[in-house]
Amino acid sequence: MGTIEIKEGGVMSELTESRIYEWLSAVTDPEVPVLTILDLGIVRKVSISNTEKGAAVTISITPTYSGCPAMDVISVGIRMALLSQGIKDIKIELQLSPAWTTDWMTEDGKRKLKEYGIAPPNRKAFQPLGFFEEEEVTCPRCGAADTTLVSNFGPTSCKALYKCLSCFEPFEHFKCH
């Protein structure tokens, strides 16, 4: 396959996967807008092919949780991001396996979450906790380790509710999943 070129700012330039990843880094999660879809690790594959009509791009994404309503919005976001770069032939595939895990979240993503006021996932996922056992989570506001679980379920599937016993602020924890 030869080089695929696109017109950018009036000049032709080569279309590469890294170029597409750059564009995708502008697409954010509508429910946690501080994270991009790359921070979350939900983009699994990018492939480019050449058709008679020009470049065709296929993006494989994986849902965080089965019922995550953000996936449809994210798909639209990806489509808009590529369309604005002149890519017209866009295919978005939903990939279920391997199942998404917070282990794929970037370190940069975790830092941004914390700055945003959400405690990031703090350990490797898939070591389930026992009954009545609580995740040890540090308060994203004051840094205290003295926190308590309010509920394992929060405003979105990916978050649990906590309360800091030092500064008494309630906060959300992005669950290790």
Partner 1 sequence: MTPLLKYTLRLADNALIIGHRLSEWCGHGPVLEQDIALTNMALDHLGQARSLYQYAAEQVNNMPAAEKKNLFTGDAIQGLIREGGMIDEDNVAYLRDGWDFCNILLVEQPNNDWAYTIARSFFYDTFNYFFYTELRNSKDTTLSAVAEKSLKEVLYHKRWSGEWMIRLGDGTEESHTRIQQAVNDLWMYTGEFFKMDEVDTTMLQNGDGVDLPAVKMQWEQRVAAILEEATLQLPPTGWMQDGGKQGVHTEHLGYVLAELQFMQRAYPRHVW
Tokens of 161: 């509710």
The listed partner (Zn ion, partner 1, none) that binds 65, CB under 5 to 8 Å by sort, is partner 1
DSSP-assigned beta bridge partners for residue 13: 6
For the stretch 110-130, what's the b/e string if a residue is b when 16 or more beta carbons lie within 10 angstroms of its beta carbon?
bebbbeeebbbbeeebeeeee
DSSP-assigned beta bridge partners for residue 61: 43, 94
Tokens of 4: 């695929």
* Residue where the block lists tokens 């279309």: 15
Nearer to partner 1, 94 or 144 (CB): 94
The listed partner (partner 1, Zn ion, none) that binds 167, CB under 5 to 8 Å by sort, is Zn ion
Piece of the chain touching Zn ion by CB under 5 A; list 16-24, 93-101, 150-158, 164-172: 164-172
Inter-axis angle of helices 70-83 and 17-24, nearest 10: 120
Helix (H) or strand (E) holding 163: strand 159-164
CB of 103 to partner 1, least distance (A): 12
CB of 135 to partner 1, least distance (A): 12
- Give yes or no for a contact between 100 and 42, defined as CB atoms under 8 angstroms apart: yes
The listed partner (Zn ion, partner 1, none) that binds 51, CB under 5 to 8 Å by sort, is none
The listed partner (Zn ion, partner 1, none) that binds 34, CB under 5 to 8 Å by sort, is none
- Report the site for partner 1 in 138-157 (rule: CB under 8 A): 150-155, 157
The listed partner (partner 1, Zn ion, none) that binds 149, CB under 5 to 8 Å by sort, is none
Count residues near partner 1 (CB under 8 A): 26
Give yes or no for residue 73 binding Zn ion (CB under 5 A). Answer: no
Q: Which residues bind Zn ion (CB under 5 A)?
A: 139, 141-142, 144, 164, 166-167
